[in-house]
Amino acid sequence: MVLTVPGVAMSLQKIKQAIEDKKLICPECKSPVQKYEKFADMLASVWDGPGDARMETEGSKVTLICGSCDWKERTEYWSNYIED
């Protein structure tokens, strides 16, 4: 059985899109973040009962890497670095 978690693909897609659109900004040099690594969802709970299997998430963590300077940060608050 494959469990799908609503919002998981959405978070990763949002990070990828923000990097592609150059909206994810380095707080050190103010250049766009160029890549990410180690994306992981944080689980709040897992339900596994007869006929009912579900996972509830509590956000996600990712390592953001500037590429223009030495800034690199592992954070669950990646959305704070997105500027429109």
Encode pLDDT of 8-64 as tens digits: 557 889 999 999 999 999 999 999 999 999 988 777 777 777 877 777 767 789 999
**CA-wise closest residue to 66 among 24, 38, 8, 15:** 24
Range 64-84 average pLDDT: 94
Return the number of other C-beta atoms located less than 10 Å from residue 78's C-beta.
23
Q: Where are the alpha helices (DSSP H) in the chain?
A: 8-20
* Distance of alpha carbon 33 from the chain centroid: 13
| Position 1 pLDDT exceeds 50 | no
Task: Name the band, by pLDDT with cuts 50, 70 and 90, for residue 4.
Answer: very low
pTM reported for the whole predicted model: 0.73
CA 48 to CA 54: how far, in whole Å? 7
* Distance of alpha carbon 62 from the chain centroid: 5
| Position 2 pLDDT exceeds 50 | no
